[in-house]
Structure 1
Amino acid sequence: MYISESKLKVRYVETDQMGIVHHSNYYPWFEVGRSDFIMESGITYSQMEEKGVLLPLVESYCKYNEGAKYEDDIIVKTFIESISPVKVIFNYDIIRERDGKLLAKGKTTHAFVDKNFKIVNLKKKYTDIWGRFLELK
């Protein structure tokens, strides 16, 4: 199983009055991890879109264990939990770099659709993209 690692530093704007990262900011971090993961497969998300493949979010989840704080260095570990020809589930671990503490775990489920938002069978219609994803499963 391939695990992508994206490094980020918590910005002040991402924190709330309590000095911890607001829960809504974990989802943009998931997106960073997912984009990096896809790019590491050898294709960018924008290249997938140009070919006609979109990945709309159909479900999301996050379990918060401990809040990240301003200027924490974090690592977003991203990997595929499961994949089928019509959908992919990505998992994310948000780790504080200095102590390796797992701050949050998340997952997002995405469908493979065309530009008209019709489900596509990636294995049949876009075999090159399908193969790239399978190599990283």
Structure 2
Amino acid sequence: MNVSTAPARVDLANAVAAVDVAVRFAETDLMGVVHHAAYVVWFEVGRVAWMSAAGMPYTEIAAGGHHFAVTGIQVAYRASSRFGDTVRILTRLAELRSRQVKFSYELRRVADNAVIATGVSDHICVDLEGRTGKIPPAIAARLWSGAAALAREQVSPVPSGAPTSS
């Protein structure tokens, strides 16, 4: 199953979940700037929030004997963030296939709406022993229906006309 075969033509671009995080001192480096490794952690925060908002909490996937193991991460750093900033993590389901799922991320500094990073993460479905396999149909169906529900909400966490940096 891939995006082109998604039921009822789900508009994945609008299936967004947003979560805000406060930059902690421990996430900064000697220069006072958020360390590059923190962005990958924030992607995970966004991914878990997206799944919960879509009605498929990650804890339920794990309780059902499956995980989505990370197979790849890409991050493009656009601007810096510092201790005390609030960062908004916007997460989208980018692709859902029979065994794989991909999420995309956009991180914005809340104070000025500047894009500070973008990225994607690739995952493969594994069982509790780490063997790859197909995403169970019930999980895939809930991810699709959750994406459709998020898209229908069309709640824009970024106000239209707000200043942006890209």
Instruction: Note whether the superposition's TM-score is higher than 0.5.
Output: yes
Matched, 1:79 2:89: no
What corresponds to 2:7 in structure 1?
Answer: none
Q: 1:68 aligns with which of 81, 105, 122?
A: 81
1:127 CA displacement: 2.1
Kindly, what percent of the aligned residue pairs are identical?
26
In structure 2, distance between residues paired with 1:84 and 1:129: 12
In structure 2, distance between residues paired with 1:109 and 1:33: 14
Equivalences for residues 1-137 of structure 1 within 5 A: 1=12, 2-122=15-135, 126-135=136-145, 136=147
Runs ≥4 residues deviating over 3 A: none
In structure 1, distance between residues paired with 2:98 and 2:66: 12
1:116 CA displacement: 2.1
In structure 1, distance between residues paired with 2:38 and 2:127: 28
Q: CA-atom RMSD, angstroms?
A: 1.2
1:43 CA displacement: 2.6
TM (norm. structure 1) is 0.93
1:111 CA displacement: 0.2
In structure 2, distance between residues paired with 1:105 and 1:83: 19
1:27 CA displacement: 0.8
1:17 CA displacement: 1.1
Structure 1, unaligned stretches of length 5 or more?
none
Structure 2, unaligned stretches of length 5 or more?
1-11, 149-166
TM (norm. structure 2) is 0.77
What one-letter code is carried by the residue in structure 1 that aligns with 2:19?
A: S
In structure 2, distance between residues paired with 1:117 and 1:16: 34
What one-letter code is carried by the residue in structure 2 that aligns with 1:84?
A: R
CA contact (8 A) 2:56 2:143 kept: no
